Structure formats: C-alpha cells, structure tokens
A and B are shown apart, each in its own frame.
Chain A
C-alpha cells in the first residue's frame, strides 16, 4: 500500500504515502506538524518529564512510518516540515475528473501509478464530471487530456453516422420492397 516516493533533500530522501494525494492533504500535514511542534513546545515549557505526543492522524502516521521519522525529535520534524513545504510549493499537480466519486482504493491505485510513472511527488486533485460517461479527463500544468467515453464517441462520430446511413438505406429498401419480396430480408438476416 505504501508505495514509496522520494524527494531529494540535503540530508535524507523523503517520500509521500499514496494516501497523501492532494495539496490539501499536504497542507493538512503541515498544519498538523505545526500543532505537534506547538504541543511539544508546551510540554517543554512546562518542564514535563514525559514527551507526550498529541494524537496524530493516520496520514501523519503513515508519513512518519514511511520516512522512518520520530516525530518527537525536533530535527526529524523540522526535516519533514521542510520537505512538506517544498512539496507544496514545487510538486507538480495533476487534476483528474471522473464521472463519479472515486473510492479511496481507486485513488490509491491511481496515485501509485502516477508516482511510479510520472513523478515521485506528484499531487492530485479530483474533479467530478458526470457528463463524460466513463474514463477521465486529465489536466496538467499546460495540457488537457480527454480520455473520456464522450471524447471517444466524438472521435468515432463519422463511424456512427456511416452506420446510421447504412441502416437508413437498408430500412428504405426494406420499406420500398414489394410484398412479394418480403421474405428477402429474413434470408439476408439469416445469411448474415
């Protein structure tokens, strides 16, 4: 599940778990990290002997686990924060629209492929376009890729019109044929 993605940092190579998909998730991690910093600072100021970490989210846990970081360690937290800020500022963002709301498992599979094939720290925003029927519409920084069924239908419009025209001709011949020739279409259909 945790496909590793790496980003070059001076000290260590960091990665993002596939559940961290969108810039919102990254921002949420940054804010959570700031909360953890604040909480640990409070503990330190209160001279509490125990370093009690506040309860962290599943995303933060996976991120820390993936990067083998100890969130109670200031240095690790600082490195993670720098990495997350760098990702938020520099990571490429793809926008993909589907015809229905995707499930988490579906997003994980898509993210795993994107980070494996496109970019290790790519982020994804999900859109909803019910009128595309099936497939997806991908919008990158400067380009627009329409992989939808609607686009496929538009591409094959001439084929559809040709089929409709052939069907019209066949229907017209059948309608204009005399009664004596009525069995002909049956034989034709049987032959086909």
Chain B
C-alpha cells in the first residue's frame, strides 16, 4: 500500500512539472504571435533575443531551484501525509487485526467451550446411564441373592426340620436306651405281644 501511495505521489509531481513546462512554453508562443503580424522578421528576432534575455541561464537556474524546492516541499508534504496515512492505516490495521483475531479467538474459544460442554454432557449422560445400569444390575443381583438366600434358608430349614426328628429320636434312644432295664420293659413287651398275638399265631399256623 505504501508503494502505491509513493507511485501516485510521484505521478502527481511529474504531471505538475509537465504542466508547468507546458504553461511556460504557451506563454512564450502567445507573445511572439501578436508581434509577428506586424513585424515578422524583426520581431521574431527581437523575441528570440528577449527570450534569450529573459530566460537566460540564471533565470532558468532559479526556476530549476524553485521547481526543485517546490518539488521537495510537495514531496515532503506528501511524505508527511503518507506517513500519517501509514500510521493511521497501521493503527486501523492493528485495530482490525486485533478485532478480527479477538473475534476469531472468541469464536474458536466458544466453539471449543461448546465442544467441551458437549463432551462433558456426553460424559455425564454416559456416566448416568452407566450408574443407572449398575443400579439396576445391583438391584437384580440383590434380588437374586435374596431369593437364593431365602431358598437356601428354606432348604436348610426343611432339611433341619426333617432331620431334627431323627436327631432327637437318636439322642433319646441313645440317652434312654441304656437306662431302661429289660425287666422294666417286660410289661410293655408283653403288652405289645398280646396286642399282636393273633397275627403271630396266624403266621405260625400258616407256616413257611
């Protein structure tokens, strides 16, 4: 952008210089034209002399110096303007870049934050689902374990009850058996024999 400004300024200066030279030549030509109608030959010569006299080397040098100074002044002013524009453009560019970068960063940060929030939400949902599944599984397992324990308990109780009678019988027989004398049992035995006497007699009479 700076190069283009410089080229534009140079082109302006060149066009101004060209216009100045053209104006000087035009004035010269206009003066010589009016006199030529009256005295073509002498006037032209006089004009040439006047021109030579007016626009001598000193005057030309002075014009050159003025043009150089004016050119330098214009160049200086334009350089100052260019510098100001450059500063302004730089500051605007900085602001623009800062704004753009900030905006981009904010957008990226917002996208990043959004993606993080989405990932977090997904993770939370996944964890919640996992927790729900674990709770459900735990309830199912707990229920199964309770049922199995209850069944096992029932089975043990049933087994215990079924064996309890045998245990008590065995214990009583072992405890009482040695304490009862056969003589004391005679009446009991004879009573049982008496009760089954008929069956015994029939079996004996029937024989083998």
Name B208's closest neighbour in chain A (CB-CB): A141
Name B181's closest neighbour in chain A (CB-CB): A100
A136 to B188, CA, bound (A): 10
CB of B200 within 8 Å of the partner chain = yes
CB of A117 within 8 Å of the partner chain = yes
A131 in contact with B173 given A142-B208, A147-B189, A157-B165 (CB within 8 Å) = yes
Q: What 1/0 mask marks residues of chain B from 175 to 194 whose CB sits below 8 Å from any chain A CB?
A: 01110101101101110111
Q: What are 6 A-B pairs with beta-carbon distances under 8 A?
A: A118-B197, A132-B173, A136-B185, A147-B188, A150-B169, A161-B161
Q: Are A145 and B200 in contact (CB under 8 A)?
A: yes
A94 to B200, CA, bound (A): 9
Chain A, interface size category, equals 35 or more
Q: Are B206 and A142 in contact (CB under 8 A)?
A: yes
Name A105's closest neighbour in chain B (CB-CB): B183
Q: B169 to chain A: closest CB distance in Å?
A: 4
- 6 closest A-B pairs by beta carbon, nearest first, are A133-B173, A147-B192, A133-B177, A92-B204, A153-B169, A140-B203
- Chain A stretch 103-140: residues in CB contact (< 8 A) with chain B: 103, 105-106, 109-110, 113-114, 117-119, 122, 130-136, 138, 140
Give the chain B neighbours of A131 by CB distance below 8 A: 173, 177
Q: A113 to chain B: closest CB distance in Å?
A: 6
Q: What 1/0 mask marks residues of chain A from 59 to 99 whose CB sits below 8 Å from any chain B CB?
A: 00000000000000000000000000000000010100011
CB of A160 within 8 Å of the partner chain = yes
CB of A43 within 8 Å of the partner chain = no
Q: Are A154 and B169 in contact (CB under 8 A)?
A: yes
A134 to B181, CA, bound (A): 9
Cross-interface CB contact of B204 among A130, A133, A140, cutoff 8 Å: A140
Q: B175 to chain A: closest CB distance in Å?
A: 9
Cross-interface CB contact of B182 among A98, A130, A133, A160, cutoff 8 Å: A98
Give the chain A neighbours of B203 by CB distance below 8 A: 140-143
CB of B151 within 8 Å of the partner chain = no
Give the chain B neighbours of A110 by CB distance below 8 A: 186, 189-190
Give the chain B neighbours of A24 by CB distance below 8 A: none
Q: Are B183 and A106 in contact (CB under 8 A)?
A: yes
CB of B58 within 8 Å of the partner chain = no
A176 to B148, CA, bound (A): 24
A35 to B206, CA, bound (A): 36
Q: Are A138 and B193 in contact (CB under 8 A)?
A: yes
Name A154's closest neighbour in chain B (CB-CB): B169
Give the chain B neighbours of A160 by CB distance below 8 A: 165, 168-169
- Chain B stretch 136-177: residues in CB contact (< 8 A) with chain A: 161, 164-165, 168-169, 172-174, 176-177
A154 to B173, CA, bound (A): 12
Q: Are B164 and A164 in contact (CB under 8 A)?
A: yes
CB of B196 within 8 Å of the partner chain = yes
CB of A149 within 8 Å of the partner chain = yes
Give the chain B neighbours of A138 by CB distance below 8 A: 193, 196, 200
Q: B153 to chain A: closest CB distance in Å?
A: 14
A118 to B176, CA, bound (A): 30
Q: Are A103 and B180 in contact (CB under 8 A)?
A: no
CB of B199 within 8 Å of the partner chain = yes
